[in-house]
Amino acid sequence: MAGTYIRTLEVWKEYRIGKVVVPALKGVSIEIEEGEFVAIEGPSGSGKSTLLYLMGGLDKPSKGNIYVGDLEISSLSNSQLLSWRRRNVGFIFQFFHLLPVLTALENVMLSAELAGIPSSERRERALELLEFVGLGDKLDRFPSELSGGEQQRVAIARALAGDPKVILADEPTANLDYANKVRIVELLKRANELGKTVVFATHDHTLARYCDRVINIRDGVVDGGI
């Protein structure tokens, strides 16, 4: 470990529905060390996905501060956040979000391109990552030709394509059977062992044994951790 890498200070996130203000996060303060593998655990609607999106710069807090490394990302403009995110963060989503008209290889190569990886390196990097997730024999398959577990493995390869410092995974195992849940978390653990800081949101406590630590969140408030 090399010290605190992600830090939130009294972070609030509020949404307005008509005239009603609904708080999704209520003064959340957490610290995640560089190189940690951390689960943010809580039931549906607890605020865990909101927290993940804020830490990755996909959204901004209503109040409070978010630091990644020495940078306060909560003070960046939208265009600055986009540029920072492409270079530093790999996202894995619950519903894969692969482009259906691109093959597995092309989906990963596109992510590498968006992250600024030189064109001479993109194909080789994508090939290596698809081998890493066990899909070296399905490079030319379209998402519709892959199982849910395979699509999520492509999504992991895509998240790693830009060599990000942080991997953020939002309920990456929610739609999978148990064998595939374990396989996905084991891949995240392997990415962590390569030096990535990995944070994943989950409601499944049985997956916690793979993590260094679990942060529990309920009703927008952190209520302790292990």
**Model confidence pLDDT, tens digit, residues 75-119:** 999 999 999 999 999 999 988 889 999 999 999 999 999 999 999
Chain mean pLDDT for the chain: 93
Whether 9 and 54 have beta carbons less than 8 Å apart is answered as no
- Asked whether residue 10 is assigned to any structural domain, the reply reads no
| Residue-level pLDDT at 205 | 85
Query: Which domain CATH number covers 138?
Result: 3.40.50.300
Partners of residue 34 on adjacent β-strands: none
| Residue-level pLDDT at 175 | 82
State the DSSP code for 202.
Answer: E
- Asked whether residue 205 is assigned to any structural domain, the reply reads yes
Query: Distance between CA atoms of 204 and 165, rounded to whole angstroms?
Result: 25
Whether 160 and 197 have beta carbons less than 8 Å apart is answered as no
State mean pLDDT over 217-225: 84
The residue segments making up the domain with residue 100 are: 36-60+78-225
State mean pLDDT over 6-18: 95
- Asked whether residue 28 is assigned to any structural domain, the reply reads no
- Asked whether residue 46 is assigned to any structural domain, the reply reads yes
- Asked whether residue 53 is assigned to any structural domain, the reply reads yes
**Structural domains counted in the chain:** 1
State mean pLDDT over 67-78: 95
Q: How confident is the model at residue 174 (pLDDT cuts 50, 70, 90)?
A: confident
- Asked whether residue 132 is assigned to any structural domain, the reply reads yes
- Asked whether residue 113 is assigned to any structural domain, the reply reads yes
